[in-house]
Chain A
Amino acid sequence: MNRRQLLQSCLAGWLPADSPSRVVIAREKGPAPARIPALLDRAVAAFYGVDSPLDAWKKIVRPGEVVGLKVNCLSGKGGSTHVALVEAICERLQQAGIRARDILIWDRLNSDLESAGFRIQSGGSRIRCLGNDTLGYEGELLAYGAAGSLMSKALTQVCDAVINLPVLKDHGIAGVTMALKNMFGAIHNPNKYHSNAGNPYVADVYMLPPIRQKVRLAICDAITAQYEGGPSYMPQWSWPFNGLLVARDPVALDATGWRIIERKRAEKGMKSLKDAGRVPAYIATAADGRHRIGTDDPQRIERVEV
C-alpha cells in the first residue's frame, strides 16, 4: 500500500479503492421472515470469513461505542427494513458488548418509524428509536459538490458507528434505492436532490464527512424486494427474494442490487431502467475518480453467494 492508498483508506474508513469489494448475497430457499436471525448470521459471518457470527460483529463494533442503525421506513410496513432484521442485529450487537442504551434505531421521522412497525423510545436503559424530527439537525451547513445540507445529530453527535440498513427496491425517479441513497435520511433536505435521477446528488451527499467516517457496514434487506413502482410499497411489483446483501462498499452493493432488479424486470418483460429513462447513474458517479466511494466494476466486485 503506497502513501496515497493509505491516505484514501484512512479518509474513507474503507478498503483501498483498488481492493476487490466483497458483496455477500445470503438467501433462504423458502420464506425468510421466520429465519431472519439465521440468515443474518450466515451473511455477516460469510462477509468477514469467520465461523462465528459473534466474531464478525466484534470486527464491526467495539464495546463502549454508540451504534446507529439507519433503517429505511418511508414505505411503511411491507416496503421498509424489517423489524425482525433490526431486532436480530440489536441482539448480536449486545452480544458483541454494545449496551442496549448505546443502540439507536433512526430514520427521518418518528411517524415513518412507527408506520414501519418500530416503537419510538427515547431514553432509559433500553434501545433508543427516534426520528430526526426529535434528534434534530446541526446548524452548520456541510457541502460537497452539488450538495449542501444540514446533518442529522444522530450521525454527528449521537453515534460513533452506523450500520446502513436499506431495502432492495426500485425508485421511480432515481432508478434504484439502496445503500447510497438511504443516507438521504441523514440530511435535512433530500427533496432537493432528486433532479436528474439523483445524479450527482446521491454520491455528493455520501461524501459528506460524517457519512464517510461513520458508516461501517451496509446490510440491505432483500427479504421482500421491489422491481417497479418504488419507493412506495407496491405488492404487485414486489417479490420474495428472501435474502440479505452485505457489503462495506456501498457502491458495490448498489451495483449488485441494481443487477438483481434489472434481472427481475427482464424476467417480468419490463423495460430496463435505462430504457425507462431512469438509469441510476449516481452509482457510477460514486465510483468515479472524484468520489472514489467504492467500485461499480463487476470485475472488481467479489460476489459471494451463500
Chain B
Amino acid sequence: MERRTFLAWVAAAGEDSRFIAEARYYEKLPHRKIKCKLCPRECVIDDRERGYCGVRENRGGTYYTLVHSRVCAANIDPIEKKPFFHFHPGSLAFSIATAGCNVNCKMCQNWDISQARPEQVRAQYLPPRELAEVARRNNCASVAYTYSEPVIFYEYMMDSAEAARAAGLKNAVVTGGYIQREPLLALAKRVDAIKVDLKGYSEKFYKEVVNGELKPVLDGLVTMRKLGMWNEIVYLVIPTLNDTDEQFKGLARWVKANLGLDVPVHFTRFHPEYLLKNLPPTPLQSLERAKAIADAEGLHYVYIGNVPGHPAENTYCPKCRRMLVERAGFTVKSMEIRKGKCRFCHEPVAGVWG
C-alpha cells in the first residue's frame, strides 16, 4: 500500500489527548469493568485493559477510543480500488485508516496496521473538518474509510462522515461488517455506500480463519439492504479454505434470497500474506468457477478481482449483455451508462452513478 504524506507525522508512541474520545457504545459494569457494545464480540474489559481491537481502552470504568483523528494511512485512490464498481465510477476517494481491527484474519493484507495498537504505528493528526478539506482540495468525490477496519474507529468515522457530507463529499465504507445493529443503524444515516468483505460462507471458516462469526455479518448485510444503502460484496477466494462449489453456491443463493440480484459480488484473488504464506495465490480457474456458479444463480453483476485485464473486470448489461463499463485495473476506460441505464437497451443498471 502506498502511503502518501499529507500532513506531518506525529510520534507513534506516547500519550496524546488529541486522539482520545469517549466511546459511544458500551455498558458500565461493577468494579470499573465495561462491556463494549460496538461489535458482536462484546468484550468485557477490566480497568486499564483494551478490547480485542486494541484501540479502545477502559480507564477507570470509562471506555475510550484512542484513535480519533489518528490516521496511520492516507491515500488518494480510485474508488475502483476499494473495490466499488457501481458507486461513482472513475472518481477518487480520499482513503484513510487507523490502527486496529476487531477480527484477526489469517490472510490479512494490511496486518501491519490492522493488527497493531495505535502507539505501534506512525500516525497523523487529521481531525474531521481538516480531513474533509484535504479530500475536497484533492478533487476527491468521497472519503473512504478502509484498509484496516473502520468499525473500530467508529467515532472518528461518524464525525468525519458528517464533516465530509457538509463539504459536499460522499462517504464510502470498506468493512468486514462485524458490527452491532444499533451502531450500524446510526452509521447508515451518515454514509452512502458500504462494501462488505464477506470472508467466507461458513461459521467454521469465520471461527478458524477470521476469529469472528458469520451470522452477524449476514444480518448486517440484510439490515444495510433494507435501509437502502448501496452495497457491494467482496469474497476473497483462498485455496483450500473457502473455495468449494458448495460455498460459492451457498453464498450466491444467500445473496439472491436476501439481498437480491443487483448486489455486485467480487470474487478476488488471494495473495499469500500474514499467517497464510503457506498457501499459493488463487488459481484463475477457481475464480472463474466461482463466477460461473454465481452467474448461474442469476446474480446480475459478478466480477473477478485482482486479475488485471480479465474480462470479468467489466460491467455488462444484465439484459442485452453489452459491455457498459470497461476497466483496466482500477481505471475506467469507457462508460456506457446514461442516467443509470444501459445506453443500448435502456435497462436500469443498479448503482450510484453520480
CB within 8 Å of B: which residues of A? 74-76, 109, 111-112, 133-134, 137, 141, 143, 148, 150, 172-173, 188-189, 191-192, 194-195, 229-232, 234
B331 interface contact, C-beta 8 A: no
**Contacts A148-B274, A191-B53; A75 near B116 (Cβ below 8 A):** no
B50 interface contact, C-beta 8 A: yes
Could you list 23 A-B pairs, sorted by A, with CB under 8 Å?
A76-B48, A109-B119, A134-B13, A141-B275, A148-B106, A172-B44, A173-B44, A188-B115, A189-B115, A189-B117, A191-B50, A191-B51, A191-B53, A192-B211, A195-B52, A195-B211, A231-B46, A231-B49, A232-B31, A232-B32, A232-B47, A232-B48, A234-B31
CA distance A152 to B251 in the complex (A): 41
CB within 8 Å of A: which residues of B? 13-15, 31-33, 44, 46-54, 104, 106, 111, 115-117, 119-120, 211, 274-275
CA distance A141 to B46 in the complex (A): 28
CA distance A172 to B15 in the complex (A): 27
* Structural contact, B115 and A232, CB atoms closer than 8 A: no
CA distance A232 to B104 in the complex (A): 26
CA distance A217 to B48 in the complex (A): 27
Q: Which of chain B's residues have a CB closer than 8 A to the CB of A141?
A: 111, 274-275
Interface of B is mostly: loop
**Contacts A133-B13, A148-B275, A234-B31; A191 near B48 (Cβ below 8 A):** no
User: Which of A75, A194, A230, A231 is close to B52, meaning CB atoms less than 8 Å apart?
Assistant: A194
CA distance A2 to B203 in the complex (A): 45
* Structural contact, B49 and A74, CB atoms closer than 8 A: yes
CA distance A192 to B115 in the complex (A): 8
* Structural contact, A232 and B46, CB atoms closer than 8 A: yes
**Contacts A133-B119, A232-B31, A234-B31; A75 near B13 (Cβ below 8 A):** no
Q: Which of chain A's residues have a CB closer than 8 A to the CB of B52?
A: 191-192, 194-195
Closest chain-B Cβ to A152's Cβ sits at a distance in Å of: 11
* Structural contact, B48 and A74, CB atoms closer than 8 A: yes
* Structural contact, A191 and B54, CB atoms closer than 8 A: yes
Q: Which of chain B's residues have a CB closer than 8 A to the CB of A189?
A: 54, 115-117
CA distance A98 to B106 in the complex (A): 42
Closest chain-A Cβ to B176's Cβ sits at a distance in Å of: 15
Closest chain-A Cβ to B214's Cβ sits at a distance in Å of: 16
Instruction: Please give 19 more A-B residue pairs, beta carbons under 8 A apart, in addition to A74-B48, A148-B275, A172-B44.
Output: A75-B48, A76-B48, A133-B13, A133-B14, A133-B119, A134-B13, A150-B120, A188-B115, A188-B117, A188-B120, A189-B115, A189-B116, A191-B51, A191-B117, A231-B49, A232-B46, A232-B47, A232-B49, A234-B31
